[in-house]
Amino acid sequence: MATPASKTSKRKWPAIVIVVVTLLLLVYVIRQWDRTPRTDDAYVYADTIDVVPEVNGRIVELAVRDNQAVKQGDLLFRIDPRPYQDALARGNASLVAL
């Protein structure tokens, strides 16, 4: 014959299992949510390095690829020299005119 205490403990087991499974599922969902990238605000976080040249101009040659390892002194890009050659020619012409 079953006692009232054993009936109560038999009824508690399904509830305990449901609570434990729910908690495990919640932990899994939260971990997956943190691992996958989100674009809720359209922001992407990445390590970047800004390259700021001493002169400005149009880039006519890009000597590196994405994620390529480079060393100090390696050519990264070539800036169009025509505006500077033109300015040099105008400066030389104005010197000759003097």
- pLDDT tens, residue by residue, 5-17: 566 667 788 888 9
In the chain, helix, strand, coil percent, each to 5? 50, 5, 45
The residues, any chain, with a CB within 8 Å of residue 59's CB and separated by 6 or more, are: 77, 78, 79, 80
Q: What is the pLDDT of residue 41?
A: 64
Phi, psi (rounded to 5 degrees) for 78 = -120, 130
Tokens of 97: 């005119």
The pTM for the full model equals 0.41
Per residue in 15-32, pLDDT (tens digit) is 889 999 999 999 998 888
